[in-house]
């Protein structure tokens, strides 16, 4: 069921502590951890502890937790002293989504081109 932990979901397992990750922040509703394949000096994923397939589904069902994810993204950027940073929600396989549990990428620490390509 939406919002419930999924047995086959990597990020549910990280949120539950069943798979190790380099966790940088945790709140009652979110976990932030370093991406295993970083694309920038700071590349942190912020996830809700509840399982939704993507950010839009999360925002529709749990808007307060979607806001928590954004607040945590800002805190990650502050902790890494990023003046500029990018928050990305890949949504759908055509946009590069590979993990079907909502997550924000927080990227910074290098120049970020726009449009991203």
User: Which of residues 49, 51, 103, 105 is near Zn ion by CB under 5 A?
Assistant: 51
Does 10 interact with ligand 5GP (rule: CB under 6 A)? yes
What is the pattern of x (binds ligand 5GP, CB under 6 A) and - over residues 24-53?
Answer: ---------xxxxx-------x--------
Does 90 interact with ligand 5GP (rule: CB under 6 A)? yes
Q: Is 105 a catalytic residue?
A: no
3-class SS string, the chain? CCECCCCCCHHHHHHCCCCCCCEEEECCCEEEEECCCCCCCEEEEEEECCECCCHHHHHHHCHHHHHHHHHHHHHHHHHCCCCCEEEECCCCHHHCCCCCCCCEEEEECCCCCCCCC
Q: Which does 91 bind (CB under 5 to 8 A by kind): ligand 5GP, Zn ion, none?
A: none
Q: Which residues make up the interface to ligand 5GP (CB under 6 A)?
A: 10, 21, 33-37, 45, 90, 96-99
Residues assigned a catalytic role: 103
């Amino acid at each position: 069921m939406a919002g419930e932990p999924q047995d086959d979901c990597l990020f549910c397992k990280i949120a539950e502590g069943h798979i190790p990750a380099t966790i940088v922040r945790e709140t009652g509703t979110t976990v932030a951890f370093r991406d295993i394949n970083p694309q920038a000096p700071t590349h942190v994923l912020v996830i809700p502890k509840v399982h939704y397939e993507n950010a839009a589904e999360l925002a529709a069902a749990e808007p307060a937790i979607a806001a928590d994810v954004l607040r945590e993204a800002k805190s990650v950027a502050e902790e890494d002293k990023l003046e500029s940073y990018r928050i990305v929600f890949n949504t759908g396989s055509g946009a590069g989504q590979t993990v079907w549990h909502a997550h924000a990428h927080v990227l910074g620490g290098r120049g970020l081109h726009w449009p991203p390509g």
